[in-house]
Structure 1
Amino acid sequence: MKSLKLTTLVAATAVALSAFSMSAMAAEKVYKLTMAETWASNFPIFGDAPRNMARIADEMSGGRLKITIDSANKHKAPLGVFDMVRSGQYDMGHSASYYWKGKVPNTLYFTTMPFGMITPEQYGWFYYGGGMDLMQKVYQPFGLLSFPGGNTGNQMGGWFQKEINSVDDLKGLKMRIPGFAGEVMAKLGASPTNIAVGELYTALERRTIDALEWVGPSLDMDLGFHKIAPYYYTGWHEPATELQFLVNERSWKKLPDDLREILRTSMKLASYDMYIQSYHESAENWSKMSTEYPDVQIKTFPKEVLQAMKNANQELLEEAAAKDVLAKEILDSQAAYLKKVRVWTNISDRAYLDSIDSLAD
């Protein structure tokens, strides 16, 4: 009997040791993921976000999660990230959701929308207002997961060679402006186009285009638009431009639970850090720009023009909602959340700024 008990104990111990050994081996296994980004090598701010994410994931996992990033210079397909991640050529991607509107129209709504939410409001919608679930409804049929990937904050309305004083001034205006805002401008008689970033300065300088929007001082200054266009208009079209991390669902499922959570947390932290960095760089660069080029004039579109833009935007939203049930669900969710959250924004941030701006220094 003692011998049987001893044998049983030895066997149980062996099983336990084997299980512990396997668990230890699993814990030590290194998982390697590849990522394709839309941006060129060393592209500031946008390119910093995925590298920060990879670094955080590496450190939090104790080296068990390694992410290699290929820039557009290497994979040669800056706007092919969706397809490369979907096919499994890459495990992950870093880009912007509205780039895929030609493939999947409902991806458009998860970057930002004209006259929509500002960054804190939009993050609230994503993480607590149902935005993440709706985004997954759009991406899941393609075997993809999408996560917020970094925010620029409110983007400027663009650089213009001439002043915009009325809606008539938009007619025939050749402007680089992508996404839903481009459709709004087209509805008002402008001629929107999308030109690669490396060609923007030359196009504006040679008057191939009359105006362009890029981001804001955080990235515009390095491109030199302030040297050739005197009017810098405030924003309306991209109040909270959110980039995205795309993840191949098969690659996601291969990760153990703890590494999935580390990856999720790393993406979230890097995204918010990009927002902070972008805000800081805009403040720094505008200070330099306004000092070195005092002739640059900050302008806001006249109320008549903004109203026309907003009306055109609303008509386009209604058309999109009428054509697609999921589009309607997304747009209704955004509108309802904006209506609720903007009340708080007005009695907190807006009231604070308005009240202190009225005080003497």
Structure 2
Amino acid sequence: MTDKIKTTRRGFFKKAGAVTAGAVGTTALAMPYVKAQSPIRWRVQTYAGPALAEHVIQPQIEAFNKAANGEMEIELYTADQLVPQGELFRAVQQGTLDGAQSDDDSMASPVDVSVFGAYFPFASRYGLDVPVLWEWYGLKEIWEEAYDEIPGVKWLSAGAWDPCNFVTTRAINSLEDLRGLRVFTFPTGGRFLERFGVVPVTLPWEDIEVAIQTGELDGVAWCGATETYTVGWADITSHYLTNNISGAWAGSYFVNEDRWNELPEHLQTLYKLTIDSSHYYRQHWYWWGEAHYRTTGGKLELTTIPESEWQTVENEAMAFWDEVAETSDRNRRVVEILKNYAETMRAAGAPYRYS
């Protein structure tokens, strides 16, 4: 396009905009699409600290911003950067944030099913269990139902993260070694672990490293090997318990409902597609990392509680499930789904379940 044609078109639009309503009557001037000079701007906060966010959400945000082609731009904030983790849900609801990536549990979502976010004990064995439960066993519809009852926040999608293992400054070789262990963990996982003498501690993400170094914490029951090495906790701890209380963290994406509804359909679709891309990236990154760091990390000594003794923990988890099922009809339905899924996996045998 020549400069002359550009100038002519600019002049035309300028003159057209100056025409009074009386001059044009009730007929609106049909304008061709012009890319907005000021893009839609969103602020999204993740549960993850900076090093972890580089993997669990930053690639998604960068891909969205690039594909949005100037129409929209998302600013990403890491754990506690704008609001504390426990206030994340309210911040999205009130519009302080436009979106969030977190688990329902630690962000204090006021829905009954929030108890199943993060690490609901023994709900999964592998990362692939989470998307299967949501997409093929009905949890997606239950989550939509639950969040539809809460004004201001829309739940979009759930995905899998890493398993929940103990990473500590001392060896754990038996259930007795768990007694008095002070760990940073998630609310529901912490309540369950209290049954075995574990002391859950809640601190801001950025304080965890110092708390371990000063002895305020004995470690974490927050993640698997991948995160332990990625965020630097492997440098200040010494032992990794191979037994875990969950095979995958269940996290979700949330948005402010009004801000979401303001988006044109193609940007909504783009955002959901990049969320799926994020789910896929985490699926293979964590699966690679758990084996890689266990075998070649070199910083942590691996210990294992004998399977016969660990079975006590699994049995207690089933009692915990039944207690949660009694808290609401919706939670009962979720527990029924989890039991059905677990039985199906056991009946299918290897590679779904080996025991």
TM-score, normalising length from structure 1?
A: 0.78
Partner of 1:82: 89
Task: Give the secondary-structure state (helix, strand or coil) at the position aligned to 1:68.
Answer: strand
Partner of 1:187: 195
- Paired AA for residue 78 in structure 1: Q
Match of residue 157, structure 1, among 145, 153, 166: 166
- Paired AA for residue 67 in structure 1: I
Q: Please give the alpha-carbon distance, in whole angstroms, between the structure 1 residues aligned to 2:284 and 2:353.
A: 19
Q: Please give the alpha-carbon distance, in whole angstroms, between the structure 1 residues aligned to 2:215 and 2:68.
A: 51
TM-score, normalising length from structure 2?
A: 0.79
Q: Please give the alpha-carbon distance, in whole angstroms, between the structure 2 residues aligned to 1:189 and 1:285.
A: 28
Partner of 1:114: 121
Q: Please give the alpha-carbon distance, in whole angstroms, between the structure 1 residues aligned to 2:207 and 2:216.
A: 11
Match of residue 65, structure 1, among 72, 75, 78: 72
Q: Deviations over 1:208-231 (max 9, x none)?
A: 344432322322125555456543
Q: Residues 217-228 of structure 1 correspond to what in structure 2 (within 5 A)?
A: 217-222=225-230, 225-226=233-234
Q: Please give the alpha-carbon distance, in whole angstroms, between the structure 2 residues aligned to 1:150 and 1:45.
A: 16
Q: Deviations over 1:176-235 (max 9, x none)?
A: 332332222212333222334444344444443444323223221255554565431114
Asked whether the equivalents of residues 98 and 259 of structure 2 are also in contact (C-alpha less than 8 Å), the reply is yes
Q: Residues 129-208 of structure 1 correspond to what in structure 2 (within 5 A)?
A: 129-142=137-150, 143-148=152-157, 151-159=160-168, 161-165=170-174, 167-208=175-216
* Corresponding position: 1:39 with 2:71: no
* Range with bigger deviation, 259-268 or 203-212: 203-212
Task: Quickly say closer, same or farther: Cα 1:301–1:85, change in 2 above 3 A.
Answer: same
Asked whether the equivalents of residues 221 and 285 of structure 1 are also in contact (C-alpha less than 8 Å), the reply is yes
Partner of 2:16: none
Q: Please give the alpha-carbon distance, in whole angstroms, between the structure 1 residues aligned to 2:252 and 2:182.
A: 29
Partner of 2:240: 232
Q: Please give the alpha-carbon distance, in whole angstroms, between the structure 2 residues aligned to 1:318 and 1:46.
A: 35
Task: Quickly say closer, same or farther: Cα 1:312–1:38, change in 2 above 3 A.
Answer: same
Task: Give the secondary-structure state (helix, strand or coil) at the position aligned to 2:128.
Answer: helix
Match of residue 250, structure 2, among 230, 233, 242: 242
Q: Please give the alpha-carbon distance, in whole angstroms, between the structure 2 residues aligned to 1:63 and 1:135.
A: 32
* Corresponding position: 1:334 with 2:338: yes
Asked whether the equivalents of residues 80 and 205 of structure 2 are also in contact (C-alpha less than 8 Å), the reply is no
- Paired AA for residue 173 in structure 2: I
Task: Quickly say closer, same or farther: Cα 1:336–1:45, change in 2 above 3 A.
Answer: same
Deviation (angstroms), 1:328: 1.0
Q: Deviations over 1:96-146 (max 9, x none)?
A: 222135744421213342212221121112122212111122222223222
**RMSD value over aligned CA atoms?**
3.2
Asked whether the equivalents of residues 217 and 282 of structure 1 are also in contact (C-alpha less than 8 Å), the reply is yes
Corresponding pairs, count: 328
Asked whether the equivalents of residues 171 and 303 of structure 2 are also in contact (C-alpha less than 8 Å), the reply is no
- Paired AA for residue 137 in structure 1: E
Q: Please give the alpha-carbon distance, in whole angstroms, between the structure 2 residues aligned to 1:104 and 1:71.
A: 24
Q: Deviations over 1:250-270 (max 9, x none)?
A: 112112222221111111111
Q: Deviations over 1:11-35 (max 9, x none)?
A: xxxx99966x46x359999433221
- Paired AA for residue 79 in structure 1: G
Q: Please give the alpha-carbon distance, in whole angstroms, between the structure 2 residues aligned to 1:92 and 1:329.
A: 28
Q: Please give the alpha-carbon distance, in whole angstroms, between the structure 2 residues aligned to 1:222 and 1:55.
A: 20
Aligned residues: percent identity?
Answer: 16
Partner of 2:15: none
Task: Give the secondary-structure state (helix, strand or coil) at the position aligned to 1:221.
Answer: helix
The structure in which a higher percent of residues are helix is 1
Task: Give the secondary-structure state (helix, strand or coil) at the position aligned to 2:92.
Answer: helix
Q: Please give the alpha-carbon distance, in whole angstroms, between the structure 1 residues aligned to 2:116 and 2:206.
A: 26
Task: Quickly say closer, same or farther: Cα 1:236–1:270, change in 2 above 3 A.
Answer: same
Q: Please give the alpha-carbon distance, in whole angstroms, between the structure 1 residues aligned to 2:267 and 2:346.
A: 36
